[in-house]
Amino acid sequence: MREHFKKEKKDIYYSVNSKNFSEKSSEILCRQLKNAGFSDELSEGIRLVPIMSKKTVVTHYGSKIECSLGNFVIQAKDKAVINHFLKYGIGSRKSAGFGFAELISDGLEV
């Protein structure tokens, strides 16, 4: 997850090891949903819960980027939100290959 500060021309990356990962990932995903045209109601309350996840560091165009690998649970108010992230990716730098998501389970099994 990346938080971009336009004025300062600075990026801060958050991984599952960051103490505020849960809060920042929710903020960033909510903003991405709003930018994609989702209503405030559907955008609010999105959560990304790490399950069997770890931090890694990747060199991208000479910069070290803190990333997360593993399984996550996406908690959202509507399946359309989850489908959006499955189709377009999660987080930042998606056009560079980051943020790939794959559905393992839809959580409806009994």
pLDDT digits (tens, 9 = 90+) for 12-63: 888 888 899 899 999 989 999 999 999 999 998 899 899 889 888 988 888 8
CATH value at residue 66: 3.30.70
Give the pLDDT of residue 110. Answer: 40
Q: How far is the C-alpha of 19 from the C-alpha of 8, rounded, in Å? A: 23
CA 76, distance to chain mean position in Å, is 13
Count: domains in the chain: 1
Confidence of residue 108 (pLDDT cuts 50, 70, 90): low
Is the pLDDT reported for residue 77 higher than 70? Answer: yes
Residue 101 lies in a domain: no
Residue 102 lies in a domain: no
> Region 65-89: what's the mean pLDDT?
88
Taking phi first (over 0 means left), then psi (-120 to 50 degrees means alpha), and beta for anything else, what does residue 77 get? Answer: alpha
Q: Which domain holds residue 30?
A: 2-96
Residue 67's nearest CA partner among 77, 80, 53, 81 is 53
pTM of the model: 0.78
Give the pLDDT of residue 30. Answer: 93
Q: Which helix (H) or strand (E) holds 83?
A: helix 79-88
Residue 37 lies in a domain: yes
